[in-house]
Chain A
Amino acid sequence: MEKIIELKNLTKNFDDQQVLKGINLDIHQNEFLTLLGPSGCGKTTTLRIIAGFEEASSGEVLFDGMDISKIPAYKREINTVFQKYALFPHMNVFDNVAFGLNIKKMDKAVIKTKVERMLAMVGLANYGSKDVTLLSGGQQQRVAIARALVNEPKVLLLDEPLGALDARLRKEMQIELKKIQKEVGITFVFVTHDQEEALSMSDTVVVMNEGTIQQIGTPIDIYNEPENRFVAGFIGESNIIEGVMIRDFLVAFDDFEFVCVDKGFPENEPVDVVIRPEDIDIVQPDKASLKGIVKSVTFKGVHYETIVTTKYRDYRIDTTDYFAVGLEVGLTFTPEDIHVMWQMGSY
C-alpha cells in the first residue's frame, strides 16, 4: 500500500509541556488507522496537526510526499468529523452537508445530487430540510460524517466521534463506519480511548501514551503480542507478572520455570510476562505447579471473572466453569499463552 501521510519526528509543546515527543508514523492509502490511548496521550493533538488546526513545534507532516506543515487547514484535502459534531446550528441538514461544496462554488444541481446521495448513504435520505439541532446524537453524527465525506477527501479524520453516543448506538455506528470506509475506499484516521472500539474497527492500531507511540500493529498483534506493560495493560485485561528470561524459550516467575515461545532476550534478562485471563485454565491443585485459593467470583454473562490468590499475586481468570470461593485450585497455561515483553524503559 502506498503511503498517504507521513509524520516525521513530530513534536508539540504547549507552554512548557511537551505533549508530543517525536511521533513517527506512516498512514497508508485506504487504511483504517486508529490512534488509541488514554486522555492526554497526544492522540487528538496528532490528529489536529494532520488537520491543520495546530502547528507542530518541530518535525514534518508529509501528504502524498509533500510537506504540508505550512498549508492552512482549508487548503488541505483532508476532512474532519469532530468530537461533538460541530454542525452549523443556523443551517438545516442539507445546507450543513452542502457547505463544503458551496464553498467550492459547485453547480447547484451537482451539489443537490451529491448531497442527496451522501445523505442516503448515511441513512438520512429524507432529512435534508430538518433542523440539525433537533436531531438525535446518532443522526447528528451521521450528518457530520456526510458533511465531511461529500467533499471526497483523501483522508477522513475522526476525533472520538462515537464518544457521545450510548453503548448500543455506538456498536451500530462502529459497524456502519467500517462499512462506509469500505464503500468510499479512503483512509480513515480514527481517534479513541476505547480499546474495544479500536480493536473491532481498525486495520492498524497505534497505541500512544504520554506523547509517544508505544506500538503500531494490527489489532491481533496488539492484543496477542503487546510490546510492553503499558500496551498489555491498556488493551484488554491482563495478568502482568515480573519475571526473568532464563534463556530462549524458558521464562521464570513466581518460583517456577515455564516453557514459552519467546526468544531473542539476553540470558537472565528481567522481563514482564503477560497472560490473558481467558488463557489460564483452572485445574485440580495436584495437576499444576502454580497453586492458589479462589478469592472471588463475579458472573459476567458469558464467563465468570475469577480471582485466584497465589503466593505472590492475584491472578485473574476468565472461565466458563464455576469454582467456589475458598476452593484450592491449580493454574495452568500452555507455552503459547505466555507472552514475554521487555520491561519498560529498557529498550
Chain B
Amino acid sequence: MIHGTHDHDFRSVLAPPAAPAGLAERVLQAARERRETGALALRFDIAASERGVARLHPGKGEIRAESRRARTLAERAREELSEYLEGLRSYFTVPIDLAATAGFQRAVLEAARAIPFGEVRSYGWVAEHIGKPRAVRAVGTALGRNPVPLVVPCHRVLRSDGSLGGYGLGLDLKSRLLSLERETPAIVGSDTTRIVCRHGCPNEQRIAERHRVVFATIAEARQAGYRRCRRCLPADH
C-alpha cells in the first residue's frame, strides 16, 4: 500500500475515518454528569477507628470517630475520596479497618482490594481467588455488604458476561465509577523533572498540567529518558 517512501504516501494511508454523528453532544452530556459525581464525596458519612476507615455510606457528610487519630483518618479518607471522584487519584493510602467483618466476607473484600485501578474481574474470579470456586453467589452477597465501598473497590467486580451485576450504592454509580477509572491515567511524568509517578502520588500531584506527560508503560517512559519516582514506585504489571 505504501508504494514509495514519500511522505505524502503516509499522509493518505493514515487519513482517519470520519467522526461518528452526535459525538459532540455525547461529550457535553458526559461533562455534565462528571460534575455531579465529583460532588458526591461531600455527602458520604464516614466512620473510622484508630486502625482505619471502618464504614462509608451516603448520608449527610458526617464523621464518626472516637479519637483524634480516628478523626484524622476519616478526614483523610474524605479528601482521598474527593480526589478519586474528581479523577485526580488512582489509589487510596488511608488504612482500612475490616474488624467488623470475618471469615468468608473478609476474604472476599481482601480479594476485591487486589483488583488494580481501572481493571475489572468477575464474581467467579473472586470466588476462585479465595479458593471457593462454587461460592459465586455468596461472593455477590459479601460484596453487597462491603462496609467501605469505593475504598474497597467492589465496583470492579462484574458478571462474567460483562454486565454490571449488583451494587449497594446503585448501578448508576457503579457504571459511573467504572468509566471514571477508564478515563483516569495511571502513569504520569513531569517533563521538567523527567520522573514518572503513579497517579495520586504526592509528587505527581505537584506536576502542573502543562508539564504532564502520560506514558503507556514504564519501559517506554524509560526510553523517553524518564525515571521512576522513588516514593510511589510505578511498575508495569
Q: Are chains A and B native binding partners rather than an unrelated pairing? A: no
Interface residues of B, Cβ cutoff 8 Å to A: none
